[in-house]
Amino acid sequence: MLGVGDSLWMPPVLAKPGGFPPNIPAPGVDLDFMNSPASVLAALLTTTRASAGYADDQVGNWTSFSNNVPRITNKGLLVEEARTNSIRNNSMQGAVVGTPGTLPNNGWFVANGVGVTTNVIGIGTEAGIDYIDIQITGTTSNTIYRLAFDATGAIAASNGQTWSPAFFVKLVGGNFTNVSNIQSGFLTWNSVPVVLTAYGSNQALPTSAALGTQRYKDALTISDATVASVTPFIGFVVSNGAAINFTIRIGWPQLELGAFATSPIRTTSAAVARSQDVVTMTSPPAFGVAYTLFAKGTPYAPLVTAIPQSIVEASLDGGNRTGVWRNQSNGNCQGLVVFSSANQLNVSFGAWNPGVSAKTAVAAQSGDQAAVRDGGTVQTAAVSGVPVPTVVNIGTRQANGSPFDGYVERVALWPTTRLSNAQLQQITG
């Protein structure tokens, strides 16, 4: 019996029935972020994020989450690095409907009008996203139309920097006759200011599908020695001397200093920073000298990044640890066990491509370590000693962050059981 002051840790029943094969022992902890109630999951986690943050669901609806609240939807738990949206007003403040109407505050302007008329047709929200409807109509006098999202000189930049523009867009009226491509890009300017270069790549035109499912992104590196600032834009490649008439819905344009676009950051009158997510289990179970970790998730960062991305880590002190991560130099999925400052296990399973969900597992006990991905070949080691964790990080590392930059879909722990190699293949297959 329990005495005064004693406690009994009981694992929550959170897993979807049948989530693991019937011969697999029940995990001590099973956090099914895609299928379990977010409120129940959030109560088990300690989340630090000193800002609001957005996350989407499986049909493209976007929800704002307050400071220090985990971003859980039916896509999973979103964990990201810190970023800043440098566009000062992406929520359409000050826009007025009319012919031509008034574009949003903070310097939105037509950078290349190609002789056509730009009208503000509507403003509102769709799927939680602030939008503006813009009609572009007339006979063109050039081959590119650009609408800029901030004033010239407002966003300082330097040569060699990589910036990632992004926006939501859909077709809501007219058609794309005499229009061939869309661009998500930016103009560079010197200090005069005189425009230097238009950066952007041609992409397929949007459709009338839901706004939240059509987000255009790019990652562009500046190569202008005298650059002083950048101006983000939406662009359309058009036929010269041709009639065009289409209305587009633009939502939450964004420009981040970084090698890829992250989740939307809403602004109204100034640049806004979103802090990094740090998520840990509030009361992790007591680990033994043999245990197993399982994680499933979808990363969004490209294969080559500045920092590694950790999906799960059970750690003794930040250095002695067991976990699964994504290598920053090539995007490979890797299983890792570190004890007494030495790698007991450090194995690779090939590229974990952005947008691809994978199941991974790593098991540790003295003289017997193993890891596997997606039911493939189990890679093993046989090194004496094993770290006995006291902290469980989800989507980050204890020592230095290493955010997953994607959705963690499920994490399960067997804190006192080293599953067999065959069982590791089963739970990840």
Query: Three-state DSSP class for 366?
Result: coil
Residues 243 and 344 in one domain: no
Residues recorded for the chain: 429
Residue 2 domain-assigned (yes or no): no
Residue 44 domain-assigned (yes or no): yes
Residues 77 and 146 in one domain: no
Residue 19 has a pLDDT of 78
Residue 328 has a pLDDT of 95
Element (H, E) at 41: helix 38-42
Per 3-state DSSP, what percentage of the chain is helix, strand, and coil (rounded to 5)? 5, 45, 50
Residue 8 has a pLDDT of 35
Residues 212 and 332 in one domain: no
Residues 201 and 336 in one domain: no
Residue 15 has a pLDDT of 41
Q: Which of 209, 239, 274 is at the close of a domain?
A: 274
Residues 239 and 227 in one domain: yes
Residue 9 has a pLDDT of 38
Asked whether the beta carbons of 28 and 413 are under 8 A apart, the reply is: yes
Residue 4 domain-assigned (yes or no): no
Residues 121 and 257 in one domain: yes
Collect the ranges in the chain with pLDDT lower than 70: 1-18
Residues 356 and 212 in one domain: no
Q: Which of 274, 302, 317 is at the close of a domain?
A: 274
Residues 128 and 219 in one domain: yes
Residues 58 and 136 in one domain: no
Buried residues in 111-146 as b, exposed as e (16+ CB within 10 A): bbbbebebebbbbeebbbbbbbbbbbeeebeeebbb
CATH of residue 186's domain is 2.60.120.260
Residue 11 domain-assigned (yes or no): no
Residue 37 has a pLDDT of 95
Residue 245 domain-assigned (yes or no): yes
Residue 203 domain-assigned (yes or no): yes
Residues 70 and 120 in one domain: no
In the block, which residue shows the tokens 């503000």? Answer: 120
CATH of residue 375's domain is 2.60.120.200
Residue 305 domain-assigned (yes or no): yes
Residue 318 has a pLDDT of 85
Residue 391 domain-assigned (yes or no): yes
Q: Give the tens place of pLDDT for each residue, 323-332.
A: 999 999 999 9
Residues 48 and 107 in one domain: no
* Number of compact structural domains in the chain: 2
User: Which structural domain, as residue segments, surrounds residue 382?
Assistant: 29-81+276-428
Asked whether the beta carbons of 241 and 79 are under 8 A apart, the reply is: no
Residues 116 and 233 in one domain: yes
Residue 400 has a pLDDT of 76
Q: Which of 252, 274, 296 is at the close of a domain?
A: 274
